């Protein structure tokens, strides 16, 4: 892998921006961690592969199926609330 001085500065910039956001609220969410990994791997040209343990997939099956159904069909009528503007 070619790690030029320009990539080193780019890595420093990415990590600095990420850390500034993390320090602002005092926590690191999974989303923020993933965003950092994705940015760094894209910059370095490294293929990114997610290996999710079977136990996690099984534990989140109901949530994923509900999310997929909502994405596909939209919310059920009884789940919507009308608001006065």
pTM: 0.59
User: Can you say whether the dihedral through the CA atoms of 41, 52, 28, 60 is positive or negative?
Assistant: positive
Percent helix, strand and coil across the chain, each rounded to 5?
Answer: 70, 0, 30
Extract the runs of DSSP E, i.e. beta strands, from the chain.
Answer: none
Separation between Cα atoms, residue 77 and residue 73, nearest integer Å: 11
Splitting the chain (85 residues) into consecutive groups of 10 residues, what average pLDDT does each group show? 87 94 86 92 91 89 87 64 53
Predicted local distance difference test score (pLDDT) of residue 64? 86
Predicted local distance difference test score (pLDDT) of residue 29? 87
Determine the length of the chain: 85
């Amino acid at each position: 892998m070619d790690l030029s001085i320009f990539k080193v500065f780019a890595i420093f910039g990415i990590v600095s921006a990420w850390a500034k956001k993390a320090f602002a609220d005092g926590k690191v969410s999974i989303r923020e961690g993933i965003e950092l990994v994705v940015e760094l791997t894209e910059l370095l040209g490294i293929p990114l592969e997610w290996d999710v343990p079977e136990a996690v997939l099984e534990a989140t099956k109901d949530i994923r199926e509900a999310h997929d159904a909502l994405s596909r069909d939209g919310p059920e009528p009884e789940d919507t609330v009308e608001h006065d503007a």
